[in-house]
Amino acid sequence: MAGGIRGMGESAISIKGLKKDYNVGAGEVHALRGIDMEIACGEFVCIAGKSGSGKSTLLNLVAGLESPTDGSINVLGQRIDRMSEIERIRFRRSHIGFVFQSYRLLPQYTAIENVALPLMLRGVEKRERERRALEALDMVGIAKCARQRPAQMSGGEQQRAGIARSIITSPAIVMADEPTGNLDTATGEMVLTLFQKLFRQNGTTLMIVSHDDDMPRHVDRTIRLSDGALIGEGINA
């Protein structure tokens, strides 16, 4: 499966002066306070910080799930902050994969049906999308679970199904929100090793939100937020 659509070193994500405010009751919450950030194509970056620091808000804005109050968001050369909601949906389907802490698998569907869902939304014929879904499940090591529903799978198996779903469209960027948050240490390590195997070889850009202290071992750079502001970043060995 193909990955990033640009070469390493070019910007996959470029953010300038990004702000996000929410009206809460009679007051206003400043979730992001003017973030500037660059993420190169093929780079693995962890967005770290305590709960309420703005990590998930930042991820949602870069994914086009929300609109900023101010600032610009350039993803793969496209100003998604200027797109309509329909344009952002199409852009996500074409270029971005997601991995969630809560797996987000539909309980009434089997693993292969869950993984194939992005292709169904693209109108891919059933036999072809199931073939590609089985291939993706095999890549993450759970082809045996293809006909099982989420309730019949372990947490680690469900997360790997989520990863298979994220790669089935060969996205240039994968965004992961606390992907190891519901997993034990050993299973979390396995999932992060799987990220390396699948995404490095394809040049996929990975933007991962996490407060896992072990995460820096698995990424190129850690960017730290606090109260909606960028407070530091470091290159990881």
**Rounded-to-integer distance, Cα 39 and Cα 56, Å:** 17
The answer to whether residue 166 is domain-embedded is no
* pLDDT tens sequence across 203-218: 999 999 998 888 888 9
**Rounded-to-integer distance, Cα 114 and Cα 95, Å:** 19
The separation between the first and the last C-alpha atoms of the chain, rounded to the nearest angstrom, is: 28
Total domain count, the chain: 1
Residue 61 pLDDT class (50, 70, 90 cuts): very high
Written as one letter, the residue type at 212 is D
CATH number at residue 181: 3.40.50.300
Q: Which residue is it, tokens 């993803």?
A: 75
The answer to whether residue 134 is domain-embedded is no
The answer to whether residue 133 is domain-embedded is no
Which stretches of 141-195 are assigned E, i.e. beta strand?
173-177
The answer to whether residue 210 is domain-embedded is yes
* pLDDT tens sequence across 104-133: 999 999 999 999 999 998 999 999 999 999
Name which of 65, 68, 72 is nearest 36 in CA terms: 72
According to DSSP H, which parts of 97-225 are helical? 111-121, 126-139, 155-167, 185-195
The answer to whether residue 58 is domain-embedded is yes
The answer to whether residue 212 is domain-embedded is yes
Query: What pTM value is reported for the model?
Result: 0.90
pLDDT at 202 over 60: yes
Mean pLDDT across the stretch 133-162? 96
Structural domain of 62: 11-104+172-235
Which stretches of the chain are assigned E, i.e. beta strand?
11-24, 27-40, 44-48, 70-75, 78-79, 96-100, 173-177, 205-209, 221-226, 229-235
The answer to whether residue 128 is domain-embedded is no
The answer to whether residue 150 is domain-embedded is no
